[in-house]
Chain A
Amino acid sequence: MRKENPNLRVLKLMHSFCPSYFPLLLLQTFFRQLSPYFNLYLSAEIVNGIVEMKGKEYLLIRILITLIGNFIISMIGGVLNLLFKQKEILLEQKEAAYFHQKTLTLDYADLENPKVRQLRRKIAESAKINLHGRQLLLVCVGQLVSLTVSIGLSLFLGLEMLLLIFKAGFSRYAVLFLLFMAALILFHVWYSFRKEKKMGDLSGKTSQVMIDENRIDDAIDCYHMGKDVRLYRQDKLIMKVKKFALDLHQKAFRMRASGEYVIGIPLTVVSFVLQAFVYLFVCYYAKAGVFGIGGILKYVGFVQAVINGITGWFHTISLIQNNTPFVRDYLAYLAIPRKTRLGTRRLKKETALSTAGYEFEFRNVSFRYPASDSFALKNISMTIRSGERLAVVGENGAGKQPSSNCSAAFIHPRKGRSF
């Protein structure tokens, strides 16, 4: 059986909570991104109109289109954005209720199980400190949509330009130019892919450090810096522990900041060289009259936008990849099965107090906590008669709690049965 991608499973789950979330995401992203391209397109026409002296009406119409178009786009975009934010909140609420429900219906034994507690703590910690997990997945999906839309819109402009040039005919130099730019673009894309890999490692280290630091912080906070600190001169000890954790954090932070800068230098250089060449390319054809001067405004940006979009894609995909373990944890928690057999025998409700109560029988009950090796209860057989008052005594750790928990069906015996 082929295992389904955990990210897709979470996304499907989110979709089931709020079916209009993703469609709205797409729509509102489109309208939000549309405005600058719309403006760019129209200001190019206006500039051409001015340079080629196309007359008052031509300019006036286009200015009116720009103004009113902007107004409409921003209104539609704004309304969609508000609706989307509402759906976002609804989604979060439904997810919280779902998670809440899951925790409440977990078997008590699972709730107490240190592995489960650890899992839940991990989910909470990584969500709170690093925003990892389900939320990051949703954020990344939003980013991917936004990048795709911007790449799409930029490509539209770019293709328009290439079409015009194609109609006018390519010169030899132009082809060389294009090849050279394509090479630069490929280098840029490949290098940013590598950068993401390196930064991903650094980020992972930083995240872990922050989680450790947070744990130490919590442990020290519980110390209620009070009497013992003063009596036993433990202030230096506490500061030592705290500084240890925070120093690690600071070091990781610094490494990340400086690493990011140094690794990014080739990208910046290539990016500017590329931009320069795009400008040269567009200016040449503008000068040659293939498209108006306004074309400079329209077309110089598209290459940079496409490159930014592609590098953004790599960055987001790498974020998603680093995030997948946390998503797996989330799904694992949700998938914990309910082991309590939901029996169908109805309990007769006893009402008379004199013969009140039910009878409990333990037959060869043994119990071991999941996390320990030794049995807490060994081969207990006894009957608690109805209406009986039984006292359970013993030293600490003798097994009083497990035996009462067994009878309340909070935990289940490893061997034997309790009735």
Chain B
Amino acid sequence: MEKQQTVISNIWYALKNIWKWDRAFYWFFIPKILLSVSLPFLAVYFPKVLIDAIEKQPAFGRIAQMVLLYFGLLLCLHLLYDFCGSRLQMRQFGISLRYQYAIDEKRMRTDYANTDDPEINIKYQNAMNDACSGNQCAPEFIWQSLMDLLVSLLGIFTYGSAIARISPWILCLLFLSAFLTYLVNRQHLRYIEKRKDQWVAIDRKIRYLQDFSQKLDYAKDIRLYGMLGWLSDMLTGFQKERFAWVKKVDRHHLIVMMCSALLLLLQNGAAYAVLLIMVLNGEIKAGDFVFYFGVITGFSTWLNGIGDRLNDIVYKGIRIGYYIDYFGIEEKYNHQKGCALPTKAELPVEIEFCDVSYRYPSADRNQYVLRHIDLKIHKGEKLAVVGENGAGKTTLMKIMCGFYYPTSGEVRLNKRAIADYNIEEYYTLFSAVFQDIYLLPVSIAEFVSSCDAEPDREKVMRVIAEAGLAEKVKALPKGIDSKLMKGVFDDSVDMSGGEKQKLMLARALYKNAPVIVLDEPTAALDPIAENKLYLAYHRLTAEKTSVYISHRLASTRFCDRIIYLENGRIAEIGSHEELMKLGGKYAHMFELQSQYYQEEPEHA
């Protein structure tokens, strides 16, 4: 199923993308690498040249010439280096953006079930966190890690050969010292890795506490029940725990530091000794002494850094894998060409459930939300779905709309299975309003008319009026161009809970699709507004197939049929009168809800 991913293939994937999207990157990349090595080399080489020259006692004019030449060259190289650096900086953000867009588009187009699935959500989070993490986006910064690695390798090679020329022993010593330093550091990292989870947990607790104290929802309780002292003490306690860990790690770090300093002492001591002997023997001059010592320091810095660079690349390679993982998730519905949608003559549609059962992918084998649902919704029928919480009403709707894929059985629209249609075309058949309301920071017109490419402003005004928002919109300075979601833009407007639900209705009306699904669309409205809304829906679903889910049984009375779901099965089905005559669960629920509104003749 999954392609065998290796770090190398991941990195190759990221590099190919950079080549595809922004070839110029590489033109600046190569000079920067070369300059990153040569500039420091020049910086160490020149003092040697200068000291040698002064020792030889030529005229000051010669020396002045050398100095001016050197600095002229250095200036040009440096300007080029900065230029390449700034161009690369300018372009690199674009790469991370492309990944962000790609992830977003994938998330919006993939099967809805994929956005619900916790495992896939983790993949999404990993990919998204990496893409948005500013300085550390892996596929964007892979070029920098690679560059650092190549620079280090090139530096080691050139400097190493310079050192080898005078004394291969120093070279061996440097390799040994670097290796030992690497071991010591690795030990320290292992120490941290083993214990990290413990203090990461404490950090999470601290963060949670801090967020918690700011939330308005808990503020009243905190004050009423005098929780101030308890919360403060808890925070201080966690902080103390965390600090204790810091001290432990620091003690270990101290030992590591001492070892590194000792190694450095030995390494430098040996280098000095060798060079001193060579100077005293007359093999090298003062200038060379300075030069070689600079080269040795540079070499050992690069050598010590190689371990980190390799680790960095491997780590980035792993994170690039997050994207590849996410882009490769499985789609159960048909995203390719499908069968034709119903023509106007074939409307309204009929929907049939054929032995549909559904279980969440991550649930137990026996935890079915829906069991063996057989239901035929006729053309133009108004169906109500009632039942207690958790009976499966919303899940049923989600399957019908093409969001969840039935675990067994299938759903047919006009005799064709959903899987036969292209799923995006299938969605165009439904105008649904679900319970959870989400807005976008866009204008009212754009929000309502999003199913069209261009907003039809007259149609927008019409559905706004039909939904009962005409007054509110008239009162706004920008009318239907007002931006939603207060606080995002300066001129965004606020909407109350009831107004939001009316907005949802307007959007569903604008789309004017052949099937209407309403899932508790009036939860936040008071009874008067609710009644108005239901009348509006009723008027406008005249020739459409529609399904209502509601707790308030008052709204089911104008439906053709009602189904009562219990434990995932259809317990009762029929019209209101039939079910009342049946005297079963529906009738019982209806009695319960209406009893407080009945007149009590005894107490009149």
A-to-B contact residues, CB < 8 Å: 43, 46-47, 50-51, 56, 59-60, 63, 66-68, 70-71, 74-75, 78-79, 82, 85-86, 89-90, 93, 96-97, 100-101, 103-105, 108, 111-112, 120, 215-217, 219-220, 222-243, 246, 249-250, 253-254, 257-258, 260-261, 264-265, 268-269, 272-273, 275-276, 279-280, 283-284, 286-287, 293, 296-297, 395-397, 405, 408, 410
Contact = CB atoms under 8 A, between A and B. Distances in A.
Contacts of A280: 63-64, 67-68
Interface of B: 47, 50-51, 54-55, 57, 60, 63-64, 67-68, 70-71, 74-75, 78-79, 82-83, 86, 89-90, 93-94, 97, 100-101, 104-105, 107-109, 112, 115-116, 132, 206, 209-210, 213-214, 216, 219-220, 222-224, 228, 231-232, 235-236, 239, 242-243, 246-247, 250, 253-254, 257-258, 261-262, 264-265, 268-269, 272, 276, 279-280, 285-286, 289-290, 293, 398, 401, 403, 424, 427-428, 430-432, 434, 436, 438-442, 446-447, 450-451, 453, 485, 487-488, 496-498, 507, 511, 525-526, 528
A243 B101 contact: yes
Contacts of B438: 222-224, 228
Contacts of B487: 215
Contact of B224 (A47, A50, A254, A408): A408
Given A97-B239, A223-B438, 7 more contacts: A74-B264, A86-B246, A230-B424, A237-B446, A241-B440, A258-B86, A276-B68
Between B71, B280, B401, the greatest number of chain A beta carbons within 10 A of the residue's beta carbon is seen for B71
A250 B95 CA distance: 11
Nearest to B91: A254
Contacts of A100: 209-210, 213, 231-232, 235
B242 A50 contact: no
Closest 4 CB pairs of A and B: A276-B71, A261-B86, A235-B108, A272-B75
Nearest to B46: A279
A279 B67 contact: yes
Contacts of A60: 276
7 contacts: A67-B269, A215-B488, A227-B403, A230-B112, A235-B108, A279-B50, A397-B496
A408 B258 CA distance: 61
A298 to B, nearest CB: 11
A89 to B, nearest CB: 6
Contacts of B272: 63, 66-67
A396 B223 contact: no
Contacts of B430: 231
Contacts of B507: 232
Contacts of A68: 265
A111 B222 CA distance: 12
Contact of B450 (A66, A70, A233, A265): A233
A217 B132 CA distance: 11
Contact of B47 (A51, A227, A268, A296): A296
Nearest to B451: A233
B83 A287 contact: no
Nearest to B111: A230
Contact of A219 (B101, B264, B485): B485
Given A104-B222, A230-B427, A296-B47, A89 B262 contact: no
Chain B interface mostly helix, strand, loop or mixed? helix
B238 to A, nearest CB: 9
Contacts of B82: 261, 264, 268
Contact of B54 (A103, A296, A397): A296
A135 to B, nearest CB: 15
Given A71-B262, A239-B104, A258-B90, A226 B214 contact: no
A232 B254 CA distance: 60
A231 B132 CA distance: 27
Contacts of A283: 50, 54, 60, 63-64, 67
Given A237-B450, A241-B442, A79 B254 contact: yes
A257 to B, nearest CB: 4
A239 B526 contact: no
Contact of B280 (A56, A71, A101, A261): A56
B279 A50 contact: yes
Contacts of A51: 51, 55, 286
A120 B213 CA distance: 12
Contact of A260 (B86, B219, B450): B86
A302 B379 CA distance: 89
Given A219-B440, A242-B104, A283-B67, A96 B235 contact: yes
A96 B214 CA distance: 13
A380 B83 CA distance: 72
Contacts of A233: 427-428, 450-451
A8 B407 CA distance: 66
Chain A CB count within 10 A is highest, among B94, B100, B243, B440, for B440
A111 B50 CA distance: 69
A213 to B, nearest CB: 10
B47 A297 contact: yes
Contacts of A249: 93
B236 A89 contact: no
A284 B58 CA distance: 12
Contact of A273 (B71, B86, B257): B71
B243 A90 contact: yes
A162 B460 CA distance: 81
A234 B55 CA distance: 77
Nearest to B58: A287
A47 B290 CA distance: 7
